Amino acid sequence: MSDINERTFNFALRIIKLCQALNKSYVMEKNILAKQLFRSGTSVGTNVEEAQAGQSRSDFVHKMAIALKEARETNYWLRLLEASEILPKKKLTELIKESNEIKKILGAIIVSSKK
């Protein structure tokens, strides 16, 4: 389980750095997108951390499901940044790949925890 904790922590760090780069611009669209991305991208890891202290199996699953929801939202914002060409594709490719992998891992954790 510590692998997903570490991955989501490192993912959040990368999101923070990306948002810092976006916020250096005074373009309204970049700032709005950065705010949305920052919120969801850092929330993935916090929900994974909270799940570790779940009071029950269902509480654990619920918190992991919230983490998955936030990972899906983050993936959406990253794909939107890529499609709108606000940032070069090469800056987003690895983050999008990692967000997809995190979604798969969280989904698998949820499924196995429900059994």
Residues 17-50: tens digit of each pLDDT: 999 988 777 677 778 889 999 999 999 999 999 9
Measured CA to CA, the distance from residue 6 to residue 104 in angstroms comes to 16
pLDDT bin (cut points 50, 70, 90) of residue 79 is: very high
Region 85-110: mean pLDDT is: 94
| 1 pLDDT above the threshold of 60 | no
Q: Which amino acid is at 78?
A: L
Q: What does the block give as tokens for 54?
A: 């779940």
pTM: 0.91
Encode pLDDT of 63-75 as tens digits: 999 999 999 999 9
pLDDT above 90: residue 8:
yes
Please compute the mean of the pLDDT values over residues 10-17 and round it to a whole number: 97
Summary mean pLDDT of the chain: 92
Looking at residue 87, what DSSP letter applies? S
CATH architecture of 2-114: Up-down Bundle (1.20)
